[in-house]
């Protein structure tokens, strides 16, 4: 069987940096509160004319170039996002497919909240290892700033914009020394769906002109419930993946969690009796970029020289749905 290999990883963030002090000019908050409760110092926000597919296209183009694959050879584009250019359709993946001239590719969006990248990696692997696709472009892209309620200090300070993209192909196409996905674990706890949602604009509460409260179109979250779910999700994912793949936590070089809140990661590390340093944390720079946060983290590790050939990492995601899960990757 052909194994799925990661040929390239590239990222992009918008140029505009929004600091905690900037947020304190918008809502009643402070750098001290945000940093002490979340670990965040700044985030990147898009310009008014930029949408999710713009970031996804930049990251995707860079990933195709570094992989050295031709546009014609891409069979599938998967865009993991919770902040699509348009509500539900057309898929953001289709807009990226067109912008990159991927004429032979199918394209669809994958909606799994902040676990979108983890789900996307396993989906790409399934397509490749089943032989249904030879080359897959996986994009995790988000513009959370445009769907945040900028009057709600409980949520708007938490999010940032960004994108990451990976090109994956089968080992029978070469790339033997490239990173391999050893295993994944995906779960859903739909009973918690109400903890993190956009209440209106879908078929449950369709937009009604003059009646829909505009804030119901934006992100709403019960922070306490998500916090408790997230700590448990990280612990369960890591212990299950270690058992499932036979990779011990000592063998794992680094755990790469979704960057939602540094305190969630600290609490999970404590429960797992692992040092905090085992977890890569860069929330300070980017805040929570949902499906883009794990590729942004992995890319920073590669650039800093802390993720190298021969290392084994575990990714862990958790988010709206509620979804959770992770991947074990031999780099
Ligand atoms: N600035 C100042 N004060 C604030 C802010 C802010 N930005 N946000 C909330 N507060 C206030 C609240 O109003 C509240 O005040 P009150 O007691 O007068 O009502 C007080 O701080 C405490 O609120 P808590 O909700 O108890 O604060 P907590 O310490 O739990 O932190 C947080 C809130 C950061 C949202 C936390 O619950 C959390 O991290 N939850 C996890 C959810 C998460 O990270 N989601 C990210 C997106 S989803 C995902 O990726 C899974």
pLDDT 10s digits, 38-68: 999 999 999 999 999 999 999 999 999 999 9
Q: Are 51 and 57 in contact (CB under 8 A)?
A: no
The mean per-residue pLDDT over the stretch 276-304 comes to 98
Nearest CA-CA partner of 5 in 241, 242, 174: 174
Q: What residue ranges define each of the domains in the chain, with the CATH number in brackets?
A: 4-173 (3.40.47.10), 180-330 (3.40.47.10)
For residue 12, give both structure tokens.
């992009």
So which residues are the catalytic ones?
Answer: 114, 258, 288
Is the pLDDT at 173 greater than 90, yes or no?
no
For residue 15, give both structure tokens.
């140029």
Q: Which atom of ligand 1 lies closest to the CA of 258?
A: 50
The mean per-residue pLDDT over the stretch 2-19 comes to 96
Total residue length of the chain:
331
C-beta atoms surrounding 244 within 10 Å: 13
- The predicted structure's pLDDT at residue 155: 97
User: Which pTM does this prediction carry?
Assistant: 0.96
List the residue whose alpha carbon is closest to atom 33 of ligand 1.
223
The mean per-residue pLDDT over the stretch 69-74 comes to 96
Among residues of the chain, what percentage have pLDDT more than 70? Answer: 99
CB-based pocket (< 6 A), ligand 1: 29, 33-34, 37-38, 114, 153-154, 157-158, 196, 221, 223-224, 226-227, 230, 260-261, 288, 318-319
List the residue whose alpha carbon is closest to atom 2 of ligand 1.
29
The mean per-residue pLDDT over the stretch 269-276 comes to 97
279: part of which helix (H) or strand (E)?
none
The mean per-residue pLDDT over the stretch 287-311 comes to 97
Q: Are 142 and 162 in contact (CB under 8 A)?
A: yes
Q: How many Å lie between the centroid of ligand 1 and the Cα of residue 272?
A: 24
Q: Are 272 and 325 in contact (CB under 8 A)?
A: no
Q: What is the pLDDT of residues 310-327, one digit of tens each?
A: 999 999 999 999 999 999
Nearest CA-CA partner of 313 in 135, 127, 184: 184
Q: How many Å lie between the centroid of ligand 1 and the Cα of residue 325?
A: 24
pLDDT band at residue 171 using 50, 70 and 90 as cut-offs: confident
Q: How many Å lie between the centroid of ligand 1 and the Cα of residue 297?
A: 23
Can you say how many angstroms the Cα of residue 292 is from the centroid of all Cα atoms in its chain? 4
Q: Which of 39, 198, 223 to mutate to test the pocket of ligand 1 (most atoms within 8 A of CB)?
A: 223
pLDDT band at residue 177 using 50, 70 and 90 as cut-offs: confident
pLDDT band at residue 174 using 50, 70 and 90 as cut-offs: low
The mean per-residue pLDDT over the stretch 187-207 comes to 97
Is the pLDDT at 176 greater than 90, yes or no?
no
For residue 321, give both structure tokens.
């749905």
Q: Which atom of ligand 1 lies closest to the CA of 320?
A: 51
List the residue whose alpha carbon is closest to atom 26 of ligand 1.
224
Q: What is the pLDDT of residues 211-250, one digit of tens each?
A: 999 999 999 999 999 999 999 999 999 999 999 999 999 9
SS3 call for 103: coil
Average pLDDT over all residues of the chain: 97
Q: Which of 119, 221, 261, 320 to mutate to test the pocket of ligand 1 (most atoms within 8 A of CB)?
A: 261
Burial class (CB in 10 A: 0-12, 13-18, 19+), 188: middle
List the residue whose alpha carbon is closest to atom 49 of ligand 1.
319
């Amino acid at each position: 069987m052909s194994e799925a290999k990661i040929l390239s990883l590239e990222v992009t963030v918008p140029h505009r940096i929004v600091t905690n002090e900037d947020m304190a000019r918008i809502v009643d908050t402070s750098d001290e509160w945000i940093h002490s409760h979340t670990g965040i110092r700044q985030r990147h926000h898009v310009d008014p004319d930029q949408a999710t597919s713009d970031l996804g296209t930049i990251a995707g183009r860079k990933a195709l170039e570094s992989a050295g694959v031709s546009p014609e050879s891409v069979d599938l584009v998967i865009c993991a996002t919770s902040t699509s250019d348009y509500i539900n359709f057309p898929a953001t993946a289709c807009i990226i497919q067109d912008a990159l001239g991927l004429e032979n590719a199918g394209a669809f969006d994958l909606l799994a909240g902040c676990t979108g990248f983890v789900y996307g990696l396993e989906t790409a692997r399934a397509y490749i290892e089943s032989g249904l696709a030879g080359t897959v472009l996986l994009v995790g892209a988000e513009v959370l700033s445009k769907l945040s309620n900028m009057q709600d200090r409980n949520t708007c300070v938490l999010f940032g914009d960004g994108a990451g993209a990976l090109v994956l192909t089968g080992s029978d196409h070469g790339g033997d020394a490239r990173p391999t996905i050893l295993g994944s674990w995906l779960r859903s706890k739909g009973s918690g769906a109400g903890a993190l949602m956009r209440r209106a604009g879908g078929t449950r509460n369709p937009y009604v002109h003059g009646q829909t409260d505009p804030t119901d179109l934006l992100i709403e979250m019960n922070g306490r419930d998500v916090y408790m779910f997230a700590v448990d999700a990280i612990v369960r994912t890591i212990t299950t993946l270690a058992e499932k793949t036979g990779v011990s936590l000592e063998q794992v070089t680094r755990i790469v969690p979704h960057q939602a809140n540094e305190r969630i990661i600290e609490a999970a590390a404590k429960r797992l009796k692992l040092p905090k340093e085992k977890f890569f944390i860069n929330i300070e720079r980017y805040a929570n970029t949902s499906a883009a946060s794990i590729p942004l983290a992995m890319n920073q590790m590669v650039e800093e020289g802390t993720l190298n050939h021969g290392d084994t990492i575990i990714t862990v995601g958790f988010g709206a749905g509620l979804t959770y899960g992770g991947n074990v990757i031999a780099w």
